[in-house]
Amino acid sequence: MSPDRERLTEFEQRSRVVLEESVLRIDGRIRSRLNQARQAAVADARRPTFWRFFTLVPSAGAVAAALLLTMVLWHRQPQVEMPVVEGTHSTVEDLDLLADGEGLDLMEGGDNSFYEWAVDQADSPGETDS
């Protein structure tokens, strides 16, 4: 008995005996065809995987295109610009004036007649006071 058979359990030994008997009962022609199929499968496994690469190219290309499209659409910023209307005050200038604390102090504690005059001038740009 070989050392491998000594390590096998009783169940494994009985299973092996039954398997070997079943193989001996198979016709020689069928065993030959099974052996040829096994040899062909082993030969296919030994072939280089270089050719298998080309089977993945179409699916990899589709995945790459989908990822590229997703990235382009995800990072695209809207091309919306604020409309510029001639003859009106710029909102940015108004915000700058409001953010300046000293300007507000002058407006609250100072002479309001100048600001009223400036608003009147903005409302009627064609008329002048003389």
Largest CA distance in the chain: 128
Residues of the chain with pLDDT under 70: 1-6, 46-52, 77-80, 82-91, 97-98, 100-111, 125-130
Report which DSSP code applies to 85.
Answer: -
Is residue 110 a part of any domain in this protein?
yes
pTM for the structure as a whole: 0.27
The total number of structural domains in the chain stands at: 2
CA distance 57 to 2: 50
Residue 86 lies in a domain: no
* Whole-number Å distance between alpha carbons of 96 and 93: 5
Would you state the pLDDT for residue 103? 60
Q: Does residue 83 lie within any of the structural domains?
A: no
Q: Give the helix/strand (H/E) hosting 34.
A: helix 28-46
* Domain assignment of residue 4, yes or no: yes
Structural domain including 107 reads 91-122
- Whether residue 81 lies inside any domain: the answer is no
Is 85 inside a domain boundary? no
In a domain, 69, yes or no: no
Q: Which of 85, 87, 91, 90 is nearest to 126 (CA)?
A: 87
Residue 27 within a domain: yes
